[in-house]
């Protein structure tokens, strides 16, 4: 109330906020939702929403919440290659980031609370960082992998990277490079 200078709403708009969060980032734990929005006491809100939600248990027995009609691909299906931008919500929206962050990223020794690198996901996990430069009508995307990449991964990253370059520099000539693993 001191932030907005008005009384807090009492019609529970937090319910709708959590349903929208789950639509984007479910299945998620109570702690994931709290990490995403910075609010506490969300267990009671999710308990109130429980009849409208699907629930699961992760490999550690922690309860996960999701929308009942949300797509949940078979665990055997590979996730597509993706380039994430600085401060991407996928990385910031979960308390347990081990679902995405790999030891390869942890070993890069990025400064805690420093700039978040632009990350590359392969099969849903951090596998590289990327940089983008432009000069004299040419745009270059460089992938800095944590480990050697397979030919299939390079092809997937080239396809996805071409689409990213079309967005970032539509009028420039495009080049995609792969640096040596770090």
pLDDT one-digit tens code per residue, 139-163: 999 999 999 999 999 999 999 999 9
Could you tell me if 86 and 173 lie in one domain?
yes
Poorest-confidence range of 23-27, 44-48, 63-67? 23-27
6 falls within a domain: no
Written as six digits, the tokens of 110 are 């990025």
Query: Domain end: 37, 66, 95, which one?
Result: 66
Could you tell me if 118 and 62 lie in one domain?
no
Q: How far is CA 111 from CA 26, 52, 96, 146, 148, in A?
A: 29, 41, 19, 17, 24
Query: Domain end: 5, 34, 66, which one?
Result: 66
Could you tell me if 99 and 52 lie in one domain?
no
Number of domains in the chain: 2
Could you tell me if 46 and 88 lie in one domain?
no
pLDDT tens, residue by residue, 65-102: 999 999 988 888 888 999 998 777 777 777 777 677 76
161 falls within a domain: yes
Could you tell me if 56 and 94 lie in one domain?
no
pLDDT of residue 12: 63
Could you tell me if 102 and 146 lie in one domain?
yes
Could you tell me if 52 and 101 lie in one domain?
no
Range of the domain at 109: 82-178
77 falls within a domain: no
- pLDDT band at residue 51 using 50, 70 and 90 as cut-offs: very high
pTM value? Answer: 0.76
Could you tell me if 98 and 20 lie in one domain?
no
71 falls within a domain: no
Q: Which has more confidence, 128 or 92? A: 128
76 falls within a domain: no
């Amino acid at each position: 109330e001191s932030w907005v200078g008005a009384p807090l709403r009492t019609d529970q708009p937090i319910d709708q906020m959590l349903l929208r969060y789950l639509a984007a980032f479910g299945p998620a734990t109570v702690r994931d939702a709290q990490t995403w929005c910075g609010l506490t006491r969300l267990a009671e809100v999710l308990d109130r929403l429980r009849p409208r939600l699907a629930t699961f248990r992760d490999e550690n027995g922690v309860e996960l919440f999701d929308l009942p009609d949300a797509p949940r691909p078979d665990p055997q299906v590979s996730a597509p290659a993706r380039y994430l931008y600085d401060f991407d919500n996928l990385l910031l929206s979960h308390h347990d980031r081990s679902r995405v962050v790999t030891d390869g990223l942890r070993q890069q020794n990025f400064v805690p609370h420093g700039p978040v690198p632009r990350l590359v996901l392969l099969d849903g996990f951090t596998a590289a960082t990327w940089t983008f430069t432009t000069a004299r009508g040419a745009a270059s995307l460089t992938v800095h992998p944590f480990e050697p990449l397979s030919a299939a991964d390079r092809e997937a990253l080239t396809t996805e990277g071409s689409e990213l370059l079309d967005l970032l520099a539509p009028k420039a000539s495009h080049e995609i490079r792969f640096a040596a693993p770090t």
